């Protein structure tokens, strides 16, 4: 007996004993039947994406010439494929006018474009010159509906990156006349041949014609001399073209000689907002999950799982604060798994506010969000936005308006008046308190100038009559000024020393 013990000890000491091999557990063959999948889908609809039904409008025959490099439009399937690709990444290529037209249906893009266009035309322009002639010009501009036409043009320029206005002199259906350059002088335009209407031409229906791409010193270098509009060749001088964000020369043909649209610039930020909004909504919808830990051996073995889903249905029917749910103490357990939702509103708000950065529209105007905190104010942001609107009008709308104003003068007067000019009115307005403070400062300055002998009272009265911001603007001040009233309170005192009231 002791010999066997010593031999075993010697074997263990010399590591000669065979290692003990643990029994390997057999992998379970997990199978889920179709009946179980059908039962699982019974409690919720299957997610699917509807098939795209938007089709590109085919151009009319003869709209585009043949043989132009980089000027052929891609096929419909190519546009659709590229547009769908842009849903997943930030592309740098031209999205195409059909896809940009589809994006104009989304509220985020439409609101940005509408706010921009409305503020560009909210105050509009002020024409200076002879009063009688100015009134006639304003009446003619109102007949042509220039202000509303430019509002629509600016809105569509934000959608597509390019917009054109056609000046119609009654020759819209005369191909021979449309190809001739429009001479802005009395030989071509006058009261007998006036401007009849101003109409919009969306970039879907126009395409650039001949242009120079060789000599950068040429006047027509990447500057089309004519445009093809639905089968008609129209000289560029008859179209007032608005391009807000012009592209470099190498990319102009790819963008049909337009610019990158505000919609395309805002698209990555709008996509982030939509994705964040949907993610937050999905998380809130399923932030709490009831978990029933029970025996699923029959289901994982390929069975139909009738008992399991009957058990789940009984749980759902009793799932409220007034019901009591009983579980098996030995084989079942019940837990609630909840996802933290603190801070989601801040993340969602930040994703939404990013749209304001690229559109240059303050949050209080774009989203109605007022700044919070002590002495918080959006005055500075609004002034910066108004400056951006003024710069856009001067850069994009002013050249077209100068040409249009000359054409309207020729239509009304038969000549271009040298003293007629216009300027965009400022959108910024002072409050009533600020205006009162300015008038008070001006009045004190006038009194000082009069007492110093710099100006007399008549000159001050004339300035008050001509100043549009003055309370006396337009008042007849032709009569003599009233005598200044003298304060006699120091000399008019009663016998007992009582001070009499001052004269008014």
Is there a single domain that holds both residue 170 and residue 156? yes
Is there a single domain that holds both residue 191 and residue 313? no
User: What domain range includes position 121?
Assistant: 51-271+358-429
Separation of alpha carbons 60 and 64, rounded Å: 9
How much is the pLDDT for 81? Answer: 54
- Residue 12: inside a domain: no
Give kind and range of the element (H or E) at residue 169: none
Render 409-453 in DSSP notation, one character per residue.
Answer: HHHHHSS--TT-EEEEPPS----HHHHHHHHHHHHHHHHHHHHTT
The last residue of one of the domains, among 398, 429, 460, is 429
- Residue 40: inside a domain: no
Query: 226-229 and 421-424: which strand pairing?
Result: unpaired
Separation of alpha carbons 494 and 255, rounded Å: 90
Separation of alpha carbons 338 and 335, rounded Å: 10
Separation of alpha carbons 418 and 254, rounded Å: 41
Number of structural domains the chain divides into: 3
Is there a single domain that holds both residue 154 and residue 206? yes
Is there a single domain that holds both residue 117 and residue 159? yes
Is there a single domain that holds both residue 451 and residue 334? no
The model's pTM is: 0.69
Is there a single domain that holds both residue 266 and residue 307? no
Separation of alpha carbons 504 and 501, rounded Å: 9
- Residue 42: inside a domain: no
How much is the pLDDT for 333? Answer: 83
Is there a single domain that holds both residue 139 and residue 264? yes
Q: Each residue of 49-91: pLDDT tens digit? A: 333 333 333 443 445 544 444 344 444 455 455 445 544 445 5
Whether pLDDT at 400 is above 90: yes
Is there a single domain that holds both residue 230 and residue 303? no
318-327, 400-409, 412-421, 490-499, range with the lowest pLDDT: 490-499
- Residue 36: inside a domain: no
Is there a single domain that holds both residue 327 and residue 288? yes
DSSP 493: B
Is there a single domain that holds both residue 422 and residue 301? no
Q: Each residue of 96-149: pLDDT tens digit? A: 888 899 999 998 999 999 999 999 999 999 999 888 999 999 999 999 999 999
Separation of alpha carbons 291 and 333, rounded Å: 8
């Amino acid at each position: 007996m002791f010999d066997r013990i010593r031999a075993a000890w010697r074997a263990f000491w010399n590591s000669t004993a065979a290692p003990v091999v643990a029994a390997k557990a057999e992998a379970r063959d997990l199978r889920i039947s179709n009946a179980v999948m059908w039962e699982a889908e019974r409690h919720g609809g299957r997610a699917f994406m509807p098939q795209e039904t938007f089709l590109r409008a085919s151009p009319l025959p003869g709209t585009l010439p043949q043989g132009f490099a980089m000027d052929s439009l891609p096929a419909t399937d190519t546009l659709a494929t590229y547009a769908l690709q842009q849903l997943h990444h930030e592309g740098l290529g031209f999205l195409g006018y059909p896809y940009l037209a589809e994006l104009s249906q989304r509220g985020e893009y439409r609101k940005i474009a509408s706010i921009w266009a409305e503020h560009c035309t909210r105050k509009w322009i002020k024409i200076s010159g002879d009063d009688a002639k100015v009134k006639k010009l304003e009446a003619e501009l109102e007949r042509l509906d220039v202000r509303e036409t430019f509002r629509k043009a600016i809105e569509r320029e934000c959608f597509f990156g390019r917009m054109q206005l056609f000046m119609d002199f009654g020759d819209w259906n005369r191909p021979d006349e449309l190809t001739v350059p429009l001479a802005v002088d009395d030989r071509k335009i006058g009261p007998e041949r006036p401007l009849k209407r101003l109409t919009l031409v969306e970039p879907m229906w126009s395409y650039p014609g001949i242009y120079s791409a060789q000599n950068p010193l040429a006047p027509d270098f990447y500057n089309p001399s004519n445009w093809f509009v639905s089968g008609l060749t129209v000289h560029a001088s008859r179209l007032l073209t608005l391009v807000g964000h012009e592209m470099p020369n190498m990319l102009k043909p790819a963008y049909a000689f337009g610019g990158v649209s505000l919609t395309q610039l805002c698209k990555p930020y709008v996509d982030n907002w939509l994705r964040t909004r949907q993610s937050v909504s999905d998380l809130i919808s399923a932030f709490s999950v009831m978990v029933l830990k029970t025996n699923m051996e029959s289901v994982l073995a390929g069975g139909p799982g009738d008992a399991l889903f009957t058990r789940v249905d009984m749980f759902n029917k009793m799932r409220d604060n007034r019901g009591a749910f009983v579980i098996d103490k030995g084989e079942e357990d019940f837990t609630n798994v909840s996802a933290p939702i603190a801070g989601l509103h801040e993340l969602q708000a930040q994703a939404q506010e990013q749209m304001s950065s690229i559109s240059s529209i303050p949050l209080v105007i774009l989203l109605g969000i007022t700044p919070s905190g002590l002495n918080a104010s959006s005055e500075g942001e609004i002034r910066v936005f108004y400056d951006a609107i003024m710069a856009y009008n001067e850069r994009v709308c002013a050249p077209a308006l100068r040409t249009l104003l000359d054409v309207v003068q020729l239509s009304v007067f038969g000549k271009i008046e040298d003293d007629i000019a216009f300027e965009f009115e400022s959108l910024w307005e002072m409050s009533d308190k600020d205006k009162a403070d300015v008038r008070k400062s001006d009045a004190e300055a006038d009194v000082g100038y009069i007492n110093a002998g710099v100006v007399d009272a008549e000159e001050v009265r004339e300035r008050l009559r001509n100043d549009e911001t003055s309370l006396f603007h337009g008042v007849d001040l032709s009569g003599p000024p009233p005598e200044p009233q003298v304060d006699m309170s120091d000399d008019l005192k009663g016998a007992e020393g009582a001070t009499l009231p001052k004269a008014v």
